[in-house]
Structure 1
Amino acid sequence: MVFADPAEALARARALLDAGPPPLHASVAHQVIGIWQRDFGDMRPALRHLRRARDLAARAGSAEREADVLATLGVALVHAGRTRDGLAAFEEGVARGTGHTRARVLYRRAYVWWVLGRHRQALEDVRRAVPVLRQADDVIWTARALTLRATVHLALGAVERADADFTAAEALWDTTGQEHDKADAVESRGLAAFRRGDIPAALRLLDEAEERYAKLGTPTFMLNIRRCEVLMAAGLAPEALAEADTAIAELDRLGGQSTRKAELLLAAARAARLADDPHTAIARATKAVRLFAGQRRTWWETHARLVLIEARVAVGRRSGRLVADAAAVAERLAAFGSPAAPEASLLAGRIALALGRSAEAEQHLAVAARSRHGGPPLARMTGWAAQALRARAAGSGRGVLEACRRGLDVLDDHRMTLGASELRARATAQGGELAALAQESALASGEPRRLLVWSERWRATVLSAPPTRPPADPALLSGLTAFREIAARAQEARQDGHPVPALEREQRRLEREIRSRTLHLRGAAPGGGDRFEPGRLLARLEDARLVELAVLDGRVHVLLCGEGRVRRFEAGRLADAVVEAEHVQAGLRRLAHPGAAARLPLVEAAGRRLQELLLGPAARHLGTGAVVVVPPGSLHRVPWALLPALRERVLSVSPSASSWLRARETEPPPDSRQVLVRGPGLATGGAEVPELAGRYGSPTVLEGDAAHVSRVLRELDGAALAHIAAHGTFRADSPLFSSLTMADGPLIVHDFERLDRSPYRIILSCCDTARFASVGADELLGLVTALLPLGTAGVVACSAPVNDEAVVPLMLALHKGLGAGLSLAEALRDARAGLPGDATHQATGWAFSAFGAA
């Protein structure tokens, strides 16, 4: 009962002891309390109760009872970090027990071998225990043993064997009332899904297991560790670090298991390394190594040492000693049968290459490269990265590109199994090294067209296919409705000057729930979509120019496409351009307020400097036609119309050349509906909307109470043109919760992803609607990038705070151009030119950009 209903078991055990039971019964009660404290509370009282249970069993003269308690005590001692004493307790327990009891002792010793990372011994003890447990018709302990054996198989990379054991165990659990063990089985299936590379299923199963544990009131430290693994593989390393650190603090508060603390420290170290925080990674990994060593857990200690070496390399350390350390770790991991062994060999090879030790590097990289032909996606990518480095060291540009292509194909297939656009975007970070190696090789080839192909290969890939539409999930829809209601109430309270901590807590809870459900979505069949073809792009450009900015080794390379060819120009350093772009943003914010006209010359001067840094000599070769700018994610906030060479141009911005091509080839809908939306609380009241309503004849106008989210979404679906005047809020911490304020609360990116087809053209007339979060290799998450894969061919949006009153004439002029048959970019160019010449209106025009190709 201690696992089926922990609270009830604890209460009964204490009640039994209060009744003054005989030694045999008292031994059972103390054992139950010890198990509860060991797994759900403080290790110190756990050990006291278990020693008392052992002594009472001896006094009762029951060798079988004593053997059973010794096994429980052995597990507790190992979890407390006293490995030698724990294994000694098991030796005594195995010697005292017989038959069925000994099989239970062997199962628990197998569990301890697994905790210690000694997988061969674990499999041997389970092999001896299972037949006896089955013969005794002990369903619960047989299921536990099968679950453990499956978990050990997973640690050794034997996923199919693990699946067979999990299936057999689950069939047994279904016949019992062991709710804790059933939750553990769901958690284990989540781990198996992760090892197969199915991240959405892993997240779904781990969330389900957490819900089950919550009903039992039991801590979830093992689940925290496993979810950290999955989050890291999904590109969510900062979240994994936060989860691990929170669990460590809770474990310390409880005085819980030392073994779990060491594993959580290792998870935190891995997450910190992936989150580009090597100093935190070093601190966490150092503690983990020390704890694992004291616990005699060599398998775990070796994995922690790998992370420690990786973090030291990340802070710039390079030495022959580090090469030797990485090689020794790789050798030990290979001996353990760990899937991490290729990663360690790749690390040793990288360090050796940096030190100029080519022969030694080749030796380690060749070992790492063997993993490219089998195993889970990330292991194969490790192998292809090693192969690419081998080819580069051998001077084979063709070999580098082939290895990078094969590795990125693996990641493409993996990425397309993810239904959530956020996961797809973040997963691209795992291909960053391969993409950089390929671009470096393409640059060395001296062929700009080849560099363009590889620049496109891993740019804005999340837009290559629509995200999986959320199902008609009642819980998700209910969560979205509740989120909107809470967010609206919180906003109203803030405006009235009232504190809203309770509402904010509930809003964050609902956000976590909504996001969790969307991350469970599974993608379509593998395949990365159409490959980019420069010839197709050049044909579509006609007399226009496309300017793609590629960043290599921190410097901007301008790929100028047009007139049937691709030319390359070298511009400035990316870091300088990013700083200058921030200065421009600050200047535009000031110019949004009347009386700041003195800042205008400073902003214009910054625009000239930006042009030199971003376009360099290419600015003199743009021709006379339209220009499409394809910037890297780090430059998404540049107001491109401010640059002198682009100021009078028909100008559009696109996340990638491929995205522009798709937008260019998107057919308008047969329905020519116009939808005009006016949200609440605007300084001008959305003054342009009534005039536009009269201009368009009979558009759908949603304002006041009619502008609620469900109605707005229904009308937007498949519209030819939508104009939304509503407050925009960008969420840097969670970009898919960026929103537009409607009558009943925020309309968020997750809502747009439920559309069958977003509007062909959409105009967002308020601040911050063109802000994005740059994630993954070169991906952008925000309102605009949510719309482009869903059927929207063109968007006008704003990347800076603007003066609301100055927006109105700009919007009216923009729609006048559209009514005359112009594209969004053409109409926006003419609208800017027609604005008054004062600083506020000029800044407002520069802050808006046309995205896409409509």
Structure 2
Amino acid sequence: MVFAAPNEALTQAREVLAADPSPLHASVAHQVIGIWQRDFGDTRLALTHLRRARDLAARADSADREADVLATLGVALVHTGRTRQGLAAFERGVARGTGHTRARVLYRRAYAWWVLGHHREALEDVRRAVPVLRQADDVIWTARALTLRATVHLALGAVERAEADFAAAEALWETTGQEHDKADSVESRGLAAFRSGDIPAALRLLDEAEERYAKLGTPTFMLNIRRCEVLMAAGLAPEALAEADAAIRALDGIGGQSTRKAELLLTAARAARLAGDARTATERAALAVRLFAGQRRTWWETHARLVLLEARYAAGRGSGRLVADAAAVAERLASFGAPAAPEASLLAGRTALSLGRRADAERHLAAAARSRHSGPPTARVTGWVAQALRARAAGSTRGVLEACRRGLDVLDDHRMTLGAPELRARATEHGAELAALAQRASLACGGPRRLLVWSERWRATALSAPPTRPPADPVLLSGLTAYREIAARAEEARREGRPVPALEREQRRLEREVRSRTLHMRGEAPGDGHRFDVGRLLRRLGDEVRLVELAVVDGRVHVLLCGQGRVRRFQAGLLAEAEREAEHVQAGLRRLAHPGAGARLPLVEAAGRRLQELLLGPVADRLGPGPVVVVPPGRLHRVPWALLPALRERVVSVSPSASSWLRARETAPPSGGRHVLVRGPGLVSEGAEVPELAARYGRPTVLEGDAARVPRVLRELDGAALAHIAAHGAFRADSPLFSSLRMADGPLIVHDFEHLARSPYRIILSCCDTARFASVGADELLGLVTALLPLGTAGVVACSVPVNDAAVVPLMVALHKGLAAGLSLAQALRDARAALPGDAVHRATGWAFSAFGAA
């Protein structure tokens, strides 16, 4: 009962003790309380009750009762870091127990061996226990033993054996009422799904397990660790770090198991390293090493040492000592059969290479490269990175490019198993080093075409394949509706000056629920974004259009000028300087949105000239007279390109990648030519352009007032030829897919657009911050515009900064006048800027809008 209904078991155990029980019954009651405290409470109290239970069992003269308590005590001692005492308790328990009881003791010692990282010993004890438990028809303990054996198999990389044992255990659990163990079984299946590379299934199963644990009221520290592992693999390292640190605080608050704290510290260290926080990674890993060493957990200590060494290397502390330490860790991990051994070999080889020790580097990198043909995707990528570094050290450009191609192909296959756009985008982080190695090799020994191919190979890949449509999930749809309602209520309360903390808490809860459901989606179609054809691009560009792709190699911007049947490369400035200048420009445009700030206009224009020199360099004079397509890296998508002097009078469009521009250019408009005009609430200008546009288009669909509600807006937008939305925009840097447009019934968020069968062919967003993005992964963008492009939108006009609402109206009217005359979005936007008054407010408003895509 202590696992099936822990709180009820605790209550009944206390009632037994209050009734002056016999030593035998008192022993059982104290053992139950000890188990509860060990797993869900204070381990110090657990030891007190379990020692009392042991003494009472001895008084009752029951050898099997004493053996059973000794096994429980052994687990508790190991979890508190008293490894020697715990193993001694197990020795006595095995000696005292007989038959069925002895098999249960062996199972629990196997669990302790697993906690300590002694996997071979764990498998041996389980091997001895399972036949006896089966013969005794002990379904619960047999299922526990099979679950444990599967978990050990996973630690050793034997996924198929683990899945077989998990399946057998789950079949047994279904015949019992052990709700805690059933939840543990679901959690274990989530771990197996993760080890086999199925991240959406892992997240779904771990969320289901958490719901089951919540009903039982039990802590979930092991589940926290496993979910953090999945989050890290999904590219969500900052979230994993926050969850691990929160779990550590909760564990400390109840005086919980020190073994679990050490594991959480190791998890936090890994997450911090992947998040680029070398200092935090070093601190957490160093403390984990000390705790594991004190607990005599060599397997775990070695893994923590690996993370510590990786954090030191990331902090720039590479040395001969680090090479030796990493090599020693690799050797020890290999002796354990740990799948992480290649990571340590890669670290040793990478460090040796940076020190010029070629022979040492080759030996260690060759060892790491052996993992490239088997194991989960991230392990194979480790192997291909090692192979690419070997080829670079040997001076083989072909070898580098082949290794990078093979490694990125592995990640492509993995990425397409992910259905959520966020996960697809963030997963590219695992290929960032391979992409960078290929770009360096192309720059050193290849022509501009090769550099263009590799610049495209891992740029905006989340947009390279059809998006996975969210399922007709009633829970997800009701969650979106509830989120919208709560967000609208919170916004109304803020306007009226009423307190909103409770509403904000509920909004955050619903946001987590919606996001969780979307992350469970599996990918549906294979990707082909890496099949980029330079010849096809050049044919589409023709002789008039120029495409300018900015490739960043080792912090320097290289400009690839495409057009007139060729690709040319030019060198521009440093990316870091361009980013700083872009921030100054953004700040200047925000100020110019307010009347009376006109004196700052010359400063903004000067910043635009500096930005042009950093980003375009000599290409500014080689663009020709025709249209220009700019393909910037993710970190530069907020640049107001129309502000740059060389682009100010041109037809300019922006695209996340050349591949994305090609697809937009080849997207056919829908039949029917429907026009949809939407006016949301609360605009200073009240969306004044909408009535005028309605008159221009004859009989468009106009949604305003109470008609501008999200469900109706989505129905009308689906498959429209042109949509114009005048509504307040809000960008969420912390959660970009919750960026929104305010409608009458609350926010229309990015996740809502994902339910469209086809988004509008052209869409104009005449509101602030709709062209803002979060740069994630290797070179990916998350935001409203990038959500629309894969859904069938060929062109978008949107704004990257807050603008003056009144000044937007004449810009939009002029823009639609150009569209009615048959111009493209980029052409119409260029002419609309020229038609505005010449004051600072209107000029800044025109610069703030960009045309995306190719319509």
The equivalent residue for 1:632 is 633
The equivalent residue for 2:595 is 594
The equivalent residue for 1:747 is 748
1:232-282 deviation per Cα after TM superposition (whole angstroms, max 9, x unaligned): 000000000000000000000000000000000000000000000000000
- Aligned counterparts, 1:292-691, within 5 A: 292-529=292-529, 531-542=531-542, 543-691=544-692
Distance 1:750 1:786 in 2: 9
Find the residue that maps to 1:546 and give its secondary structure: strand
1:216 aligns with 2:216: yes
- Contact 1:414–1:526 under 8 Å retained in 2: no
- Contact 1:413–1:528 under 8 Å retained in 2: no
- Aligned counterparts, 1:818-833, within 5 A: 818-833=819-834
- Contact 1:538–1:561 under 8 Å retained in 2: yes
The equivalent residue for 1:799 is 800
- Aligned counterparts, 1:774-785, within 5 A: 774-785=775-786
Moved more, 545-554 or 464-473: 464-473
Distance 1:352 1:367 in 2: 14
1:75-103 deviation per Cα after TM superposition (whole angstroms, max 9, x unaligned): 00000000000000000000000000000
The equivalent residue for 1:165 is 165
Q: How far off is 1:468 after superposition? A: 1.1
Distance 2:487 2:802 in 1: 22
- Contact 1:449–1:534 under 8 Å retained in 2: yes
1:147 aligns with 2:154: no
Distance 1:671 1:75 in 2: 71
The equivalent residue for 1:277 is 277
The equivalent residue for 2:838 is 837
Find the residue that maps to 2:620 and give its secondary structure: helix
Name the aligned partner's letter for residue 696 of structure 2: R
1:301-351 deviation per Cα after TM superposition (whole angstroms, max 9, x unaligned): 000000000000001001110000000000000010111000110000000
Find the residue that maps to 2:559 and give its secondary structure: strand
Unaligned runs of 5+ in 2: none
The equivalent residue for 1:102 is 102
1:710 aligns with 2:711: yes
1:608-633 deviation per Cα after TM superposition (whole angstroms, max 9, x unaligned): 00000000001111011000000001
Q: How far off is 1:526 after superposition? A: 4.0
The equivalent residue for 1:817 is 818
Distance 2:810 2:365 in 1: 62
- Contact 1:728–1:740 under 8 Å retained in 2: yes
The equivalent residue for 2:37 is 37
Q: How far off is 1:571 after superposition? A: 0.3
Distance 1:248 1:472 in 2: 37
Q: Name the % identity.
A: 86
Name the aligned partner's letter for residue 671 of structure 2: P
Distance 1:84 1:793 in 2: 67
Name the aligned partner's letter for residue 538 of structure 2: L
1:80 aligns with 2:80: yes
- Contact 1:591–1:599 under 8 Å retained in 2: yes
Q: How far off is 1:773 after superposition? A: 0.3
- Contact 1:577–1:610 under 8 Å retained in 2: yes
Q: How far off is 1:467 after superposition? A: 2.3
- Contact 1:723–1:765 under 8 Å retained in 2: yes
Find the residue that maps to 2:685 and give its secondary structure: coil
The equivalent residue for 1:693 is 694
1:741-770 deviation per Cα after TM superposition (whole angstroms, max 9, x unaligned): 000000000000110000000000010000
Distance 1:620 1:666 in 2: 31
The equivalent residue for 1:197 is 197
1:415-448 deviation per Cα after TM superposition (whole angstroms, max 9, x unaligned): 0000000000000000000000000000011400
Q: How far off is 1:525 after superposition? A: 4.4
Find the residue that maps to 1:796 and give its secondary structure: strand
1:671-722 deviation per Cα after TM superposition (whole angstroms, max 9, x unaligned): 2000000000000100000110011000000000000000000000000000
1:5-35 deviation per Cα after TM superposition (whole angstroms, max 9, x unaligned): 0011001000000000000000000000000
Q: How far off is 1:466 after superposition? A: 2.8
- Contact 1:555–1:572 under 8 Å retained in 2: yes
Q: How far off is 1:577 after superposition? A: 0.5
1:761 aligns with 2:785: no
Find the residue that maps to 2:645 and give its secondary structure: coil
Find the residue that maps to 1:724 and give its secondary structure: strand
Distance 2:348 2:839 in 1: 61
Find the residue that maps to 1:645 and give its secondary structure: helix
Find the residue that maps to 2:309 and give its secondary structure: helix
Name the aligned partner's letter for residue 178 of structure 1: Q
Name the aligned partner's letter for residue 740 of structure 1: L
Q: How far off is 1:524 after superposition? A: 1.7
CA-based RMSD: 0.6
Distance 2:132 2:576 in 1: 67
1:199-258 deviation per Cα after TM superposition (whole angstroms, max 9, x unaligned): 000000000000000000000000000000000000000000000000000000000000
Q: How far off is 1:498 after superposition? A: 1.9
The equivalent residue for 2:118 is 118
How many residues get paired?
854
Q: How far off is 1:499 after superposition? A: 2.2
Distance 2:778 2:376 in 1: 20
Distance 2:525 2:76 in 1: 46
1:34-55 deviation per Cα after TM superposition (whole angstroms, max 9, x unaligned): 0000000000110000000000
Distance 2:103 2:747 in 1: 59
Unaligned runs of 5+ in 1: none
TM-score normalised per structure 2? 1.00
1:634-663 deviation per Cα after TM superposition (whole angstroms, max 9, x unaligned): 111100000000000000000000000000
Distance 1:603 1:466 in 2: 39
Moved more, 489-498 or 142-151: 489-498
- Aligned counterparts, 1:841-852, within 5 A: 841-852=842-853
Could you list the runs of 4 or more consecutive aligned residues of structure 1 that deviate by over 4 angstroms after TM superposition?
none
- Contact 1:416–1:528 under 8 Å retained in 2: no
Name the aligned partner's letter for residue 64 of structure 2: E
- Contact 1:113–1:119 under 8 Å retained in 2: yes
Find the residue that maps to 2:694 and give its secondary structure: helix
- Contact 2:729–2:740 under 8 Å retained in 1: yes
Distance 2:478 2:806 in 1: 37
Distance 1:511 1:779 in 2: 22
Moved more, 192-201 or 444-453: 444-453
1:487-512 deviation per Cα after TM superposition (whole angstroms, max 9, x unaligned): 00000111111221100000000000
- Aligned counterparts, 1:224-239, within 5 A: 224-239=224-239
Moved more, 410-419 or 494-503: 494-503
Find the residue that maps to 1:130 and give its secondary structure: helix
Distance 1:447 1:465 in 2: 28
Name the aligned partner's letter for residue 631 of structure 2: V
Find the residue that maps to 1:671 and give its secondary structure: coil
Find the residue that maps to 1:551 and give its secondary structure: strand
Distance 1:536 1:341 in 2: 44
Distance 1:28 1:252 in 2: 28
